[in-house]
Amino acid sequence: MTVRDRRDMIIRGWRDMIVRGRRDMTARGKRHITVRGRRDMIVRRRRDMTVTVRRDMILRGRRDKTVRGRGVKKVRGSRDMIGRKRRHMIVRGRRDMIMRVRRDRTARGRREMRARGRRDMIVRGRRDMIVRGMRDMTVRGRRDMIARYRRYRTAKVRRDMIVRGRIYGQ
């Protein structure tokens, strides 16, 4: 990503990105989100950040990633966040979340992702993920991927097999 691309993302698309709960994943972008993001979301959009909207955002699994935003939510939306959000995300949405490669950001969710998520991604979701050209980004998943396709020596054959979804062991 060039400096110009980054600048365009930060200046032009910034508010949209923040509202959609996305962020620039470059190191510089992460620093910027705390400064600019706080100003955009909390100062300019304070009217929108009512308790109801905040609760809706939490239930949809989105949240303001700024330090101040996290603090506000922890106080006002604590019951929603801790009980309802975690229950929705982990129990109901687990397989969908894994397919979309999203993560529950709570401490308990991270632990469960490491254990249950890895198992779901590797065992259940493997075929779909490979067909869609996605990869399990866990260390164990990367090892699995490499091991499974090692016997197909040429990169082209391996790529064709992955794209067409013809998988070792089927």
Q: What's the pLDDT tens digit per position in 68-127?
A: 444 444 434 444 444 444 444 444 444 444 444 444 455 555 555 555 544 444 444 444
Q: Which pLDDT does position 4 carry in this prediction?
A: 55
Do the domain assignments include residue 84?
no
d(CA 157, CA 86): 42
Q: Which spans in 38-82 are helix H?
A: 38, 51-59, 67-76, 78-79
Ramachandran angles phi, psi of 140, nearest 5°:
-65, -40
Q: Is residue 150 part of a domain?
A: no
Is residue 160 domain-resident?
A: no
Q: How many domains does the chain have?
A: 1
Tell me if 38 is assigned to some domain: yes
Structure tokens at 116: 């249950």
- Supply the pTM of this predicted model: 0.14
- Do residues 94 and 88 touch, judged by C-beta distance below 8 A? no
Query: Does 9 reside within a domain?
Result: yes
| In-domain check, residue 39 | yes
Establish if 55 belongs to a structural domain.
yes
Tell me the residue range of the domain where 38 lies: 1-68
Domain for residue 25, yes or no? yes
